[in-house]
Structure formats: structure tokens, C-alpha cells
Amino acid sequence: MYKRILLAYDGSKSGQKALLDCRDIAQWSQASVNLIAVTPLYMQVMGVEGGIYDSGLAEQEKEKYQGILDEGLRQLVSAGYQARGEVLLGETVDEITKYAKKIEADLIVVGHKHLDGWAARWWRGSVSKSLIEHAPCSVLVVIVH
């Protein structure tokens, strides 16, 4: 039985579906829900050899993700669920797995949309696939076509 559920939430269609599924699981198992949104580290390219961290862009993205996270939390709280949330900064899979360990999550829930072309799949990679390999607990991947 799940007692602590972690939802990696981005507000997308697959994220919305994951939120709904997460609510059902939380109700069934009487679990607490933690939402996180992960914003990447933003670098300003300085040439072929590197870049510098762009704190201005990172702050704008953090505010954007905070709004998305607040909306997800509002939906859960208005439906009567106990939920907390936090915006994290870093590489998506690393941040999700670290947070799951921190809260001792029993289940991680993520949304996933199938990418159309092979180039898109190759370029972006799969957060879901990497997460399954590194997660400290069970992972539910909610698929939207």
C-alpha cells in the first residue's frame, strides 16, 4: 500500500492525467501527495567551450513552474487531499530521485507523451525510462497519446 506519493508535475496533458490518477491512488491508499516541478539549470552559451549560469532566466522559469505547481496543488487541496509542493532546480531525473529518497516515497507518478518522430525521441530522450532505472521506489508512468 502506498503512503507517500510523489508526483512530478509539469501541467502538460500527460501531467494533468497523472494528477487525476494520483488522486485516485491517494484516495484508495489514504496516501499523502507531494508535487514537484523541476526546472533545468539555464546556461547562457559563451561559445563552443562553455557557458555561464543565467540566474535571470532560471528565476523566470522558477516563477513559471511555481504557478503550474500552485495550480496542481489547488486542484488537489480543493478535492480534499493533503498535498505539498516544491519547485526544484536541476536535472529532472536526478532531482526527482533525490526528492523521492528525501520524503521516502513509495510511488513516483509521472506523465508521458509519446513523441512522434525518432529524431525527437533521440534528441529529448525519455525521462520516464531514465527514472525507472534510477528510482528508489515504484514508478507509475501515465501515458497520453
Residue-level pLDDT at 122: 47
CA 34 to chain centre: 10
3-class secondary structure, 114: coil
Decide which of 96 and 47 is more confident: 96
Residue-level pLDDT at 123: 46
CB 145 within 8 A of CB 114: yes
Second CATH level (architecture) for the domain 4-144: 3-Layer(aba) Sandwich (3.40)
pLDDT in tens, 17-68: 998 888 889 988 889 999 999 988 765 555 555 556 667 777 888 899 999 9
Q: Return the domain boundaries, the chain.
A: 4-144
Q: Give just the sign of the alpha carbon dihedral 15, 20, 24, 30.
A: positive
